[in-house]
Amino acid sequence: MVTLVFAYFKAHDLLFGVSIAIESPKNGETLSSAFVTIIGTAPGNTMVTLNGAKVLTDAAGRFEKELLLGLGYNVIEIKVLDRFNRAESKTLELVYKPRENNIEEVALLGN
């Protein structure tokens, strides 16, 4: 019985492949802050990248990465690659629209 359970856990990645779950923010969300934290999970033995930059995961496969959004429409690509070279990617589309009182702050950051 122990051997069967061990074999299942070892073969799980091979049998079920890779997956990405994005917890925050939601796809299509409009944000009023230029800084956003992407939070999600992927299987523990995978390489996660956000827009091509490697992201560290904890033992449970959870990852967090802060990004600076450009004004307007932003596309963030999240990719996961497992040890069997199987990949999955998700595209997160976000809109950064500052509140009227934040426009002065955005102008100051741009100079």
pLDDT of residue 43: 85
Task: Check pLDDT > 90 for residue 84.
Answer: no
**Residues 16-26, mean pLDDT to the nearest whole number:** 86
pLDDT of res. 90? 94
Q: Which amino acid is at 92?
A: L
Q: Which pTM was predicted? A: 0.73
The per-residue pLDDT of the chain, averaged, comes to 84
pLDDT at 24 over 90: yes
Which structural domains are found in the chain, ordered by start? 18-110 (2.60.40.10)
pLDDT of residue 79: 95
* C-beta of residue 80 within 8 angstroms of C-beta of residue 19: yes
pLDDT recorded at residue 83: 85
Can you give the three-state secondary structure of 18-71, one letter per residue?
Answer: CCCEEEECCCCCEECCCEEEEEEECCCCEEEEECCEEECCCCCCEEEEEEECCC
Q: Which residue has the higher pLDDT, 38 or 3?
A: 38
Question: From CA 18, how far away is CA 44, in angstroms rounded?
Answer: 10
